[in-house]
Structure 1
């Protein structure tokens, strides 16, 4: 990653992170200042039983682990992005877990590792000195610290990953479906181009923010669209610092007859583009707004363009937040936030973080008093259908490079985001996604061998 870029350009990288990390803005839960009573701290989460609870630990078997507590690191770019979802999720989960007794009697302590966009390596070095593992976080430029993480044999359970050097790297359990060799959107694009809007397949456009992160995603997206039966007839970058007038882009889309558009960038920019498209009376068959747009802010910014265009996105198998009452695990997250972080929004990043926290808690609890890195890694690797207690469709964590099988599509409406008519076949999800393998993924994840280590070094 070359860092000889302006601060404005780096701001755009941060804004694009959620899209690149396959996460999103989410749906805000309005709560009163006093919060709500919330569920009892039983140690059960969703359909998971006793992932937190009492115990009588005696030993200090690993760095960051004593008889009293477990220290874990939570990466965030909060100091730069001003978004605190990962820190909020850590506070809520650890508070709930500790009230239930902790991890077999050990208190969870979450150390915030604020990388502030550019300080990933520095925070990783700190985490290597103090933490037992990384849990429930993420950073835009996460590849900057992966070499240090592997060198110090630090396991990671991230809420999201962003860069190709980190996604799929070793000693890491990514609960987002889709390994680094495969498109996570194979099911979504196939549904768009072959079922929902087959007439759009002949002319699809891709607009990307001009940053190293999104350029890799653009490369991957074009391969996935082509493999799904589409023809990319229009492709354009927009400056990382933003665009003052989206009219030339809208006119080019109209003049070229683009029927479907994948937008890889900041949802604020997408809202402005859609306003211009609507004003010049051009409606595409569909726009992939990406999960970064999943939340009320995009709809508010887009205004009349919400009705003027057809915005769709793939939640990647996460249960819709607007349907929380229909799903016990999602409802539990909402209730826990009302109790422990009243007024804070429950977003897609929050849910992703909880999926990671529950995995760590279950794996660590299974180790009992002898809580070592090797034990927690081996325990997590046994999960072949991980749902985070029911927060998402199953993901096989025993294979770090498995293709995504399930997807679910959301559609923007003036009344909010709602599930589209994508014909789910497994609850809220459709689980017949084809495996679309990249011919060129744009790089490869780092391995233990790359830093002169192996699994035998993990103790």
Structure 2
């Protein structure tokens, strides 16, 4: 039986995991929001009064007052960043920092937030330095916005200690996903999950009834992949890792790994591992050794590098599930066109994680605007907690940042030559939806405990900012 309904992108908004390689860059914090790179194409018309189907949160005004660390009469200082300095995968998540850098410039060009200029400190956690990044941010920033760090749990004790609210682009660890003072454009809580794209795969491709999970020795990837075991089980599939963990730095005996999957008897593969030379080598070995199975992935594989690697049909037909509208739909989805035009104008790597960071930045900016001269962390927590319907202006399926609830819709694309093609639903702007998010058992929470308000207790203290109401 097919459990679905089709929803048009943005229809509900009228009533908003993940590691990918991009380009190498220098490490370290930067106060220059324009270090995202040169523009690749001629810029389309920039959005001004709106972003997608939202009124622009940026513009002139007369807000004033040094209300909080990082807030003055004239400016608001935020932190943002990625893992672009990770030596094993240079440029990791760089599109996230690039997106926030570009949107800071875009917003300031319109007048900032109520007339206050946005200043940005860009950080590079390089996977292993998220705790140090948070210490630095705690000493100078108003909030962290639109960032994504692979080992984000390491930063949680510092963040909570300094009472730093955060609006990340993504979270991976259970502690960060369920942390206090945390609101995310597209939440990924551990106690529920979106099984929409797994439902599509099992409905449309019977091979996914017995799926082999392609894991990695990266702790961040391993944490993220665990959720997909539950996703597949929820839709009736048998998921197994077949005892395989690819080395993120390469150097595996790929023929032996292919043999393990053959012995495992799987009829499909699924990966959360970032597209990179090691996994391309695995795919080459699979083709040579005759492991002819269908392969699925999440939005980490929606990347120009995957198309570049499609020589000899190496990545042809890989199914890529996502909760965001693909770039190919920019002619039908204004928010996608707006994201691309801002990146074209101000430079930077484009990617799905860039749109994820953008959604969180726009969410933050909208609430900051509403706070006006009373721009405090308390006001931000109060305002963010009330945003229970969000699509980022039409960038993605409806989510609920205020209550930390996941979307339950998605779509499926696949690699076709040198492009991606949306295959389910066939119509641009539509989503495949299940009847709701799936509840994850406590055994899938990564060892954390939750309060009655669904907050992780692991690093929780009595001295945090909570919604006033």
| Alignment of 1:64 onto 2:64 | no
Q: Against the structure 1 CA distance between its residues 451 and 64, is the aligned structure 2 distance closer, same or farther, given a 3 Å change threshold?
A: same
- Say if 2:424 and 2:432, in contact at 8 Å, map to a contact too: no
| Residues in 1 aligned to 2:98 and 2:257: alpha-carbon distance in whole angstroms | 38
The yes-or-no answer on 1:110 pairing with 2:120 is: yes
What's the offset of the Cα at 1:78? 2.4
TM-score after normalising by structure 1: 0.85
Deviation for aligned residue 1:146: 0.9
Kindly state the Cα deviation for residue 24 of structure 1 after the two structures are TM-superposed: 4.5
Could you tell me how far apart the structure 2 residues matched to 1:165 and 1:281 are? 41
Structure number with the higher strand fraction is 2
Q: Which residue of 1 aligns with 2:430?
A: 428
For residues 362 and 311 of structure 1, what CA distance do their matches in structure 2 show? 37
Q: What's the offset of the Cα at 1:207?
A: 2.1
Shift of 1:98: 0.8
SS at match of 2:233: helix
| Residues 255, 50 of structure 1: alpha-carbon distance in 2 compared, 3 angstrom cutoff | closer
Structure 1 unaligned regions, length at least 5: 1-20
Which residue of structure 1 lines up, in the alignment, with residue 412 of structure 2? 409
Match of 2:422 in 1: 419
Matching residue of 1:140? 150
Q: Summarize the Cα distance change of 1:234–1:155 in structure 2 as closer, same or farther, 3 Å threshold.
A: closer
Alpha-carbon contact 2:20-2:275 (below 8 Å) kept = no
Question: Superposed, which structure 2 residues align to 1:286-365 within 5 Å?
Answer: 286-306=294-314, 310-315=317-322, 317-341=323-347, 344-365=348-369
**1:247, distance to aligned residue in structure 2 (A):** 1.2
Question: Residue 393 in 1 paired to residue 397 in 2?
Answer: yes
User: SS at the partner of 2:50?
Assistant: coil
Correspondent of 1:207 among 194, 206, 214: 214
C-alpha RMSD of the superposition: 2.7
* More helix as a share of residues: 1
Counterpart of 1:47? 53
Match of 2:260 in 1: 252
Confirm or deny: 8 A CA contact 1:134 1:154 kept in the other structure. Answer: yes
Q: What residue in structure 2 maps to residue 176 of structure 1?
A: 186
Residues paired across the two proteins, number: 426
Secondary structure of 1:166's counterpart equals helix
For 2:134, what is the secondary structure of its paired residue?
helix
> What corresponds to 1:437 in structure 2?
439
1:267-310 Cα distance to aligned partner (Å, 9 max, x none): 223322222222233321x2123322211212332422447x64
Q: 1:22 aligns with which of 10, 18, 21?
A: 18
SS at 1:165 equivalent: helix
For 2:126 and 2:20, locate their aligned partners in 1 and report how far apart those are by CA, in whole Å: 19
- The answer for the alignment partner of 1:79 in structure 2 is 85
User: Could you give the per-residue CA deviations for residues 377-425 of structure 1, whole angstroms, max 9, x where no partner exists?
Assistant: 221222222111111111112211x24311111111113221123467x
Structure 2 distance, partners of 1:443, 1:292, is 25
Return the alpha-carbon distance in structure 1 between the equivalents of residues 79 and 38 of structure 2: 30
TM-score (norm 2): 0.83
Q: 1:97 aligns with which of 78, 100, 107?
A: 107
1:372 to 372, 376, 380: 376
2:139 aligned counterpart, secondary structure: helix
Tell me by how many angstroms 1:432 deviates: 2.2
CA contact (8 A) 1:423 1:430 kept: no
Match of 1:188 in 2: 197
Q: CA deviation at 1:64?
A: 0.7
Q: 163-172 or 226-235: which moved more?
A: 226-235
1:228 and 2:235 aligned: yes
Deviation at 1:196, TM superposition (A): 0.6
User: Compared with structure 1, are the counterparts of its residues 115 and 26 closer, same or farther at alpha carbon in structure 2 (3 Å cutoff)?
Assistant: closer
Aligned partners of 1:34, 1:76: CA distance in 2, in Å? Answer: 21
Structure-2 change in CA distance of 1:334 and 1:25 (3 Å): farther
Q: Which residue of 1 aligns with 2:281?
A: 272
> Which digits, 9 at most, give the CA deviation of each residue in 1:191-230, with x for residues without a partner?
222x1123541x2211211233333334332232222101
